[in-house]
Amino acid sequence: MEKSLKIFEIFGIKVRIHFTFLLLPAFVGFGVFFRQGGMNAVRSIVFVMFLFTCVIFHEISHSLVAQKFKIKVKHITLFPIGGIAFMERMPDKPKQEFLMSLAGPLFNIVLAVLLFYPLYLIMGRDIKALSMANISFNSWRSTILWMYWINPMLALFNLLPAFPMDGGRALRAFLAAHMPFIKATRIAVSIGHFFAIIFGLTAMIVQYPILMLIAFFIYIAASQEERQVKLKYALKEFKVKDVAAGEYHSIRPDTPLSGVLELSLKTTQQDFPVVEGDRVLGILTRYNLISALHEHKGENKAKEAMTKEVVRVSLGETLNSVYSKMAAANSKTALILQKGELKGIISVEDIARVYQLQSSR
């Protein structure tokens, strides 16, 4: 995430661009420049910038509805493939997910409707004279036409009833209002697969590789969504106290790393809480240990190599919540604390074991 740059903040939401995003206007601009010359290149870059402004406002529309449902939006980041609004969590109620997913495409439709008449006054019937076959930046006139039509196209593409598009989420939410969430997901995923196969076949017939790529992407994303929902539901049934091992090793801040190495050779524990008296100071992960040893710092103390930010969970917390916290912190071990006192540790392997047992039943 450090590889992105904040460009502005609106409604309390930070809008960032990922550094790879800058490649896109450069890539398009150079491509057009070599084939069609300087002015066309300028127009193509204006077009790309406009397209991404629309994408930003599409994401902001999703985010505003999310905020209305008290979901924090961390930031919106633009990547070359599009924008992503990073949210703290997904909505729990189907109705909320439904409204949230439709808000984005709705922005594009509203903008297109609002722009139609003014543009019609300027361009006359030309506004309708556009086809996929002649994408060109030969004149400002055709560039503006493209800028106009890109919004309905964005809306249409995002409304495809397939994950990870907004339409797929809206469809699942609509179904989930009438049946269990898992079943709704399964049906939405099948419809997504169906669309992916149709796209794939069409791509083969018309020999259009980009469509093949999209088809592939949609297929994978649909399967992934089903797996994630299954995982979430399986993990919701268990609490930390059901699975956490009672036995664990902790180390002191002044334990030398060579001592930790010896300890980690004797156990299967990967990460060690660093504790002084009752206080948890941090966690010494296997990664911390290996990188310190790699730099020949074996005689350094645990406190010099440990990670200070630890994931803290309680005995009554569900595994689903623990898993989300670990994923957000990119951590493999969480510390179980009760009233500030360390009660044990839980690792991502513990969670994986529960999931495997649960899904094989």
Q: Report d(CA 149, CA 58) in Å as an integer.
A: 15
Cβ pair 96, 106 in contact under 8 A: no
Closer residue to Zn ion in complex, CB, 76/334: 76
Least CB distance from residue 109 to Zn ion, whole Å?
Answer: 12
Least CB distance from residue 90 to Zn ion, whole Å?
Answer: 13
Which residues does 92 contact at the CB level (< 8 Å), separation at least 6? Answer: none
**Binding residues vs Zn ion (CB under 5 A):** 104, 158, 166
Per the structure block, which two tokens stand in for 272?
């060690």
Closer residue to Zn ion in complex, CB, 110/204: 110
The residue among 358, 324, 339 whose CA lies nearest residue 242 is: 358
Cβ pair 147, 177 in contact under 8 A: no
Closer residue to Zn ion in complex, CB, 104/344: 104
Closer residue to Zn ion in complex, CB, 21/57: 57
Least CB distance from residue 51 to Zn ion, whole Å?
Answer: 14
Closer residue to Zn ion in complex, CB, 85/244: 85
Q: Report d(CA 201, CA 150) in Å as an integer.
A: 25
Q: Which residue has the tokens 């930390």?
A: 240
Closer residue to Zn ion in complex, CB, 61/333: 61
Least CB distance from residue 147 to Zn ion, whole Å?
Answer: 19
Cβ pair 90, 52 in contact under 8 A: no
Least CB distance from residue 169 to Zn ion, whole Å?
Answer: 8
Least CB distance from residue 198 to Zn ion, whole Å?
Answer: 21
Query: Which residue type occupies 61?
Result: S
Closer residue to Zn ion in complex, CB, 59/350: 59
Q: With b meaning 16 or more CB within 10 Å and e meaning fewer, what string describes 5-30?
A: eeeeeeeebbbbbbeebeebbeebbe
Q: Report d(CA 176, CA 93) in Å as an integer.
A: 9
Least CB distance from residue 343 to Zn ion, whole Å?
Answer: 42
C-alpha dist (Å) from residue 237 to 14, 40, 234, 320, 354 = 35, 58, 6, 8, 10
Using Cβ positions, the residue closest to Zn ion within the complex turns out to be: 104
